Amino acid sequence: MKAGRVTGIDPTGPLADNAERIVRLRLEELHGFVPAVLDPAEVEALHDMRIAAKRLRYVLEVTAEPCFGPYAAKAAKRAKDLQDLIGEIHDCDVALPRVRAEAQAAREAGAVALLARAGDAADVDPGLAAELPRADEHRGLATLETYLTARRRLLFERFLELWRALEREGFRARLEYALAERPTDGAITRLSPDDNVAPSG
């Protein structure tokens, strides 16, 4: 997912004002994947949302405390929670196709071996299938696929719960409000002689 270009950045302006522009765009990008990501089949959209959460998290981790109101730091942690959970789902989404491909290859190899055992017989004796080579591998791959499928479903339910919790918490509105706030100690409002933001003290 390509990050949107932030416009209106003023290199001579206060850090908080420029950071606010960046965070607002990253927040908009994060929410742009809803409602698509609420469908468990939308694997790519969910993966892109993880990237958007990561970008939002990183910019907030750097700018929240010196630039914005108190909720911004909490929002950075929420973005990390979202990123981490979607990352776990993504691991399943990456592993499942590989496991299924290996299982398919094992089935094909088993079918070839079974035909070879049948020889010139008019039909394939089912008993021949009981002693196929790589039988343990067949079972192992089937078990792993079942495990990953179940884990993915469980994690996706947790994702839905987390997203609903963020909505109930007012994550977006509270962060937008925090972006308009500035720390009360005035650390980022006083300008240095070269018009860059100077630290307090």
Q: Say which CATH number the domain at 101 has.
A: 1.40.20.10
> How far from 88 is each of 76, 91, 114, 144, CA to CA, in Å?
19, 5, 38, 16
Per the domain annotation, does 7 fall within a domain?
no
Q: Which residues contact 189 (CB under 8 A, 6 or more apart)?
A: 14, 182, 197
Per the domain annotation, does 110 fall within a domain?
yes
The number of folded domains in the chain is 1
Per the domain annotation, does 61 fall within a domain?
yes
Per the domain annotation, does 140 fall within a domain?
yes
The pLDDT value recorded for residue 186 is: 52
Full domain range(s) for residue 42:
15-180
> Minimal CA–CA distance to 78: which of 138, 168, 4, 153?
168
The Cβ-side half-sphere exposure at 141, using a 13 Å CA radius, reads 17
Per the domain annotation, does 169 fall within a domain?
yes
The pLDDT value recorded for residue 55 is: 97
The pLDDT value recorded for residue 185 is: 63
Per the domain annotation, does 191 fall within a domain?
no
pLDDT averages per 10-residue partition of the chain, 201 residues? 81 93 97 97 97 97 95 97 98 96 87 83 80 76 95 98 98 96 65 47 45
Stated pTM of the model = 0.82
Per the domain annotation, does 10 fall within a domain?
no
> How far from 99 is each of 6, 49, 112, 144, 176, CA to CA, in Å?
40, 24, 20, 7, 43
Rounded-to-integer distance, Cα 111 and Cα 95, Å: 24
Show the tokens assigned to 128: 């021949």
The pLDDT value recorded for residue 198 is: 45
Per the domain annotation, does 99 fall within a domain?
yes
To which residue do tokens 């302006």 refer? 13
